[in-house]
Chain A
Amino acid sequence: MTTTERPSRSKERQSPQMVDMAWDPITRIIGNLGIHTKIDFANREVAECYSTSSLFRGYSVFMKGKDPRDAGFITSRICGICGDNHTTCSDYAQQMAYGIKPPPLAEHIVNLGEAAEYMFDHTLFQDNLVFVDFCEAMVKDTNPSVLAQAENTPAPQAGVHGYRTIADIMRAFNPFEGEVYKQALVISRITREMYCTMGGRHVHPSTLYPGGVGTMPQPNTFTDYLSRLVKVLDFVKQSVAMNDDVFDFFYEALPGYEEVGRRRVMLGCWGSFQNPDFCDYRYETMNDWGRRMFVTPGIIVDGELVTNKLVDINLGMRILLGSSYYEDWVGEEPFVTHDPLGNPVDMRHPWNQTTVPQPQKRDFEGNYSWVMSPRWYDRTSGQHLALDTGGGPLARLWSTALNGLVDTPYVKATGHSVRISLPKSEQLPETTLEWRIPRWNNTLERNRARQYFVAYAAAMAFQFVEEAMTLVRAGETKTFTDFEVPEEAVGCGFHEAVRGVLSHHLVIKDKKIANYHPYPPTPWNASPRDSYGTPGPYEDAVQGQPIFEENGADDFKGVDIMRTVRSFDPCLPCGVHMYLGNGNELRQLHSPTFGAIHG
């Protein structure tokens, strides 16, 4: 089976006391995600879980017939937080289709923008959204005994972050008033400014095009970026320390917490940060330049690297139906029967997919989501693997560490860990952080990896700034390569959106888009049960997880389940690619943050 096997529990099982619990929609994430569960309160575990989305958007439908050069600008609107990831990925796919390679300086500018994006988005999500589940107010509501213990537990890295006890850190996480919460808002502003110096605008960049960038590469473009980067460095170092302290404390205070959100290690990473010395965007050489990326692509199953070849990753992609509101497209005409290397391309591959929506009533026995079920076909085992992205950072760090290919002055992959060196900042000295491959793919490790990846992005940004400045000093200021749109072409772009794998598949006919399919991280993570009955990663992670919350069925908040779902960094606007409601009414509602009101 491709699902997670749970360890048999030693304690005697009681007769189940099932209660239906649903969170629909879930707050503090983007889009309409619903989690419907059956909770067994007698044995304190989740018995069943269904992940559902009530949102359909249809990008793959309305992209058809458009000018391919517009694809980056249109697909950027898929997301309101990682839109630039889509522009970048679309440009990668177009560059392959047009047969062009941007000048190195343009590549550095794109990388710098993406590094700032990772720093911005992870910080905002981690400190302002995830940590609300770990803050003093929430823990007081759900696990008062844990808070009492936190009050008396000194924080091991108090010297770095300045909070004496774990409870002090948790107080700093309190929404709207906690120190870390407020500081994170300032940091996300600075990091967005960094993005804007490169992309012109955030999140829908105005200066990123296929073939290069329109950013004016003045020396002060890079010094403006650098000065902001140095400014946020103290916060990055401190937050890694705070994260480690809090998550280690949870393992200690709640023995068995590693089972929360644990899932079999089936991670996918499509790689990020192109290396301009090697990347030529040709499909034929994709395996080589893919491995040279500064975040190495890879598929990891049970802790072993299955492949790091982008061609294999590409050809293994299968979009399954099973529980989604769509008609099957196998009877349609395929667009791409063979890839540029002559390998056959499956009918269920995004290049051949046709989106035929079929709105219907939600039925958990049948179809219940607008999200399809992307899977990766493993030729050796013949299984369709429900890969997850570990919220993005976990898979990126894991793949980079295991591959051991990244070796730069600031970041080094060792085969079992990633070493990240950050220079001296205002308050803290030069620091080397080491992220080690964890024992589990679970809720806490997904969250822990996020902050390490902020440090990773910051470290890589130093290198990109240095290389870009060297080019500018040498007068190598070209940032654009000319191109013609071909009559017919195919292209694919592989990138990492903030919350995980991102691919764009493009087919051009008569200089127009014949087919376009973006596959962002959330379809992988939030996918429903596929045609083989395999549950999607959220469902798999939540199903069978123990409940540690001290509240009973009456005042149950479901914090453990929410922690698990949020650890994947759910983002539903990218999960389904037009809302077909009853009317055209658009209502703006404001719902206060869960846990904000406390005494």
Chain B
Amino acid sequence: MGQIRVGRPDAKPDMSAHIDGTRQGNEGPAESQPGHHRSGTSDARRSTGVHWKKHDAILPAMPNISPG
């Protein structure tokens, strides 16, 4: 800091934001949740999990739109 007098640092600036043991979002929900595909795409069953089996489109010609 040049010639500026500064105090002793009391912070750990490189402390990791991640806490061990917490599930990381990076792994993706493909295994554990319906409606998520390995390819990264998703379909209508990616809803709330309520009656998810019934969330598919009723005809193959219909779009199976993901709620998000």
Contacts and interface: CB of A to CB of B under 8 A. Distances in A.
B40 A476 contact: yes
A509 B25 CA distance: 25
B6 to A, nearest CB: 10
Contacts of A103: 40
A358 interface: yes
Contacts of A69: 17
A219 B65 contact: yes
A356 B2 CA distance: 5
Interface in B8-59: 13-17, 25-28, 37, 39-43, 46
Contacts of B39: 478
B14 A65 contact: yes
Contact of A477 (B1, B17, B68): B68
B48 to A, nearest CB: 12
Contacts of A341: none
12 contacts: A65-B14, A70-B17, A218-B67, A219-B68, A356-B2, A472-B66, A474-B41, A475-B65, A477-B40, A477-B42, A477-B66, A477-B68
Contacts of B3: 358
Interface of B is mostly: loop
B2 A357 contact: yes
Nearest to B24: A482
Contacts of B67: 218-219
Q: Which 4 A-B pairs have the closest CB atoms?
A: A478-B40, A218-B68, A356-B2, A475-B41
Interface string A202-220: 0000000000000011110
Nearest to B15: A67
Interface in A477-498: 477-478, 480, 482
A482 B1 contact: no
A358 B2 contact: yes
Contacts of A86: none
Interface residues of A, number: 31
A306 to B, nearest CB: 35
A116 to B, nearest CB: 19
Given A357-B2, A480-B26, A482-B27, 6 more contacts: A62-B13, A67-B15, A67-B16, A475-B66, A477-B66, A512-B14
A124 interface: no
Nearest to B41: A475
B61 interface: no
Contacts of A476: 40-41
Contacts of A219: 65, 67-68
Interface string A58-70: 0001101111011
A222 to B, nearest CB: 10
Interface in A56-111: 61-62, 64-67, 69-70, 103
User: Is the contact region of chain A dominated by helix, strand, or loop, or is it mixed?
Assistant: loop
A62 B28 CA distance: 33
Contact of B2 (A62, A217, A327, A474): A327
A558 B16 CA distance: 51
B62 to A, nearest CB: 12
Given A70-B17, A475-B64, A477-B41, A580 B26 contact: no
Given A103-B40, A219-B67, A67 B17 contact: yes
B13 A473 contact: no
B68 A221 contact: yes
A580 B3 CA distance: 13
A475 B26 CA distance: 19
A66 B66 contact: no
Contacts of A67: 13-17
Contacts of B17: 67, 69-70
Contacts of B1: 61, 356-357
A473 B65 contact: yes
Contacts of B25: 480
A103 B42 CA distance: 14
B63 A65 contact: no
Contacts of B40: 103, 476-478
A66 B41 contact: no
B4 A357 contact: yes
Contacts of A154: none
Given A70-B17, A482-B26, A580-B4, A475 B43 contact: yes
B41 A217 contact: no
A473 B2 contact: no
A472 B65 CA distance: 7
A474 B37 CA distance: 13
Interface in A504-532: 512
A69 B4 CA distance: 29
Nearest to B16: A67
Nearest to B39: A478
Contacts of B14: 65-67, 512
Nearest to B40: A478
A218 B37 CA distance: 17
B63 A473 contact: yes
Interface in A574-595: 580
A157 B26 CA distance: 54
A579 to B, nearest CB: 13
A65 B46 CA distance: 40
Nearest to A512: B14
Contacts of B26: 480, 482
A482 B29 CA distance: 13
A65 B13 contact: yes
Contacts of A216: 68
A359 B4 contact: yes
